């Protein structure tokens, strides 16, 4: 991603994304998934929801989404760190703020994610955590008793999650040298995909039937939005310059057509949408197949766009 960092004027060490790099797509997926967790959990808190289950089971207002979010974003940042060329200088990005640099914005947004997720853990903390760190008990009690504090945390989680999800798409769209990435639709598309994968994971593991069905319905909305944004992305590319049309051709008859339309659109969006629509209307029983396909489709979307984008150029004109 040398061109991306150069374009963004970031002081951070330069990533060296090449055609088959895996670190950046994995980072983009984990960042989007964490953004989805932040938004969905934040909405549940803002609506005054209380964890419907205890004893360590998954619920949007329990500590488990925040714990998993902390693990996911940390793993994603490790992937980003592994992709850097000059790893010893990564700390320099936090000595400045460049308002015109997507990388600078993203770096500081990632820092904001950690305290929000940490407070989310304290909403319903594991007993071993409180026993080991008794100084946390007043804060845990305050969050448990103060509804305004929980709602404020929910609103903050939604805002930070939206910023993180959109940033993962802007990280690519800021690079004008790659026509496939040169679209403002990438930010909303990656946000919708992150929300979809987070909702899919939620209704995959949630033990409560009502919450599982609610998350499945929300996931259906996100999948429809994702389909619409993919359509807007392709229409925008085809109707723009010749270089953008050639970039779109990589997905419309080019070498990435099959994996994009079969792997991302078909198996990752359309088929799960049909299965989940039948499930929420109680025509078929709940199955883990659909949410697993949604999450696999989210990973495939990042890999296809990152790899195909590096094969789109202006220099052929």
In order of 7, 65, 70, 115, 219, the CA distances from 120 in angstroms are 35, 8, 10, 8, 22
**Cβ contact 219:291 at 8 Å:** yes
pLDDT of residue 209: 82
What is the DSSP annotation of 225-273? HHHHHHHHHHHHHHTS-HHHHHHHHTTTTSTTHHIIIIIIIIIIIIHHH
Tokens matching residue 267: 């198996």
Q: Round to whole Å and give the CA distance between 282 and 237.
A: 39
Residue found under tokens 């909702």: 199
Find out whether 140 and 125 touch, Cβ atoms under 8 Å.
Answer: yes
Q: Which residue has the tokens 């990752």?
A: 268
**Model confidence at 10: pLDDT above 80:** no
Longest dimension (CA), the chain: 65
d(CA 276, CA 136) in angstroms, rounded, equals: 40
Give the alpha-carbon dihedral of 180, 184, 185, 189, to 10 degrees: 100
Q: Where do we find the tokens 């697993």? A: 292
Which one of 11-15, 97-101, 126-130, 283-287 scores highest in mean pLDDT?
Answer: 283-287
pLDDT at 315: 62
Give the phi and the psi of residue 128 in degrees, each rounded to 5. -65, -30
Rounded mean pLDDT of 299-315?
Answer: 89
Give the model confidence (pLDDT) of 194-210 as tens digits: 999 999 999 998 877 88
Q: Which residues pair with 15 in a beta bridge?
A: 84
Q: How far is Cα 160 from Cα 68, in angstroms, rounded to an integer?
A: 16
- In a 3-state reduction of DSSP, which class is residue 15? strand
Q: What is the pTM of this model?
A: 0.87
Over residues 96-103, the mean pLDDT reads 76
At 202-241, the pLDDT tens digits run: 999 887 788 888 899 999 999 999 999 999 999 999 998 8
Distance CA 219, CA 242 (A): 35
- pLDDT score, position 6: 39
Query: pLDDT value at position 4?
Result: 38
Domains of the chain are: 1-175 (1.20.1630.10), 209-317 (no CATH)
Q: Between 18 and 161, where is the model more confident? A: 161
Residue 280 neighbours by CB under 8 Å, 6+ apart: 213, 216, 217, 220
pLDDT of 14 strictly over 50: no
Q: Please tell me the least confidently modeled range out of 15-24, 101-110, 137-146, 164-173.
A: 15-24
Which pLDDT score, from 0 to 100, does residue 16 have? 43
Do 291 and 203 form a contact (C-beta atoms < 8 A)? yes
């Amino acid at each position: 991603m040398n061109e991306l960092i150069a374009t963004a004027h970031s002081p951070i060490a330069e990533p060296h994304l090449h055609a088959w790099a895996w670190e950046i797509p994995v980072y983009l997926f984990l960042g989007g998934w964490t953004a989805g967790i932040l938004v969905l959990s934040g909405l549940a808190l803002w609506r005054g929801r209380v964890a419907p289950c205890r004893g360590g089971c998954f619920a949007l207002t329990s500590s488990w989404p925040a714990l998993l979010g902390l693990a996911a974003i940390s793993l994603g940042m490790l992937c980003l760190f592994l992709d850097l060329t000059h790893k010893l200088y990564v700390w320099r990005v936090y000595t400045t703020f460049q308002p015109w640099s997507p990388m600078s914005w993203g770096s500081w947004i990632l820092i904001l994610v950690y305290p929000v997720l940490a407070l989310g853990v304290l909403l319903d903390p594991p007993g071993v955590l409180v026993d080991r760190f008794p100084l946390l008990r007043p804060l845990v009690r305050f969050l448990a008793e103060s509804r305004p504090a929980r709602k404020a945390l929910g609103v903050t989680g939604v805002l930070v999650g939206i910023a993180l999800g959109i940033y993962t798409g802007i990280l690519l769209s800021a690079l004008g040298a790659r026509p496939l990435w040169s679209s403002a639709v990438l930010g909303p598309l990656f946000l919708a995909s992150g929300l979809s994968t987070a909702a899919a994971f939620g209704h995959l593991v949630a033990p409560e039937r009502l919450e599982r069905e609610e998350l499945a319905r929300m996931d259906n909305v996100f999948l429809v939005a994702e389909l619409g944004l993919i359509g807007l992305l392709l229409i925008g590319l085809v109707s723009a310059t010749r270089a953008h049309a050639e970039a779109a051709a990589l997905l419309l008859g080019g070498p990435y057509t099959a994996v994009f339309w079969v792997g991302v659109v078909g198996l990752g969006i359309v088929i799960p949408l049909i299965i989940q629509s039948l499930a929420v209307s109680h025509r078929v029983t709940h199955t883990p197949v659909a949410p697993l396909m949604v999450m696999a489709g989210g990973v495939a979307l990042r890999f296809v766009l990152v790899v195909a984008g590096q094969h789109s150029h202006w220099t052929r004109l």
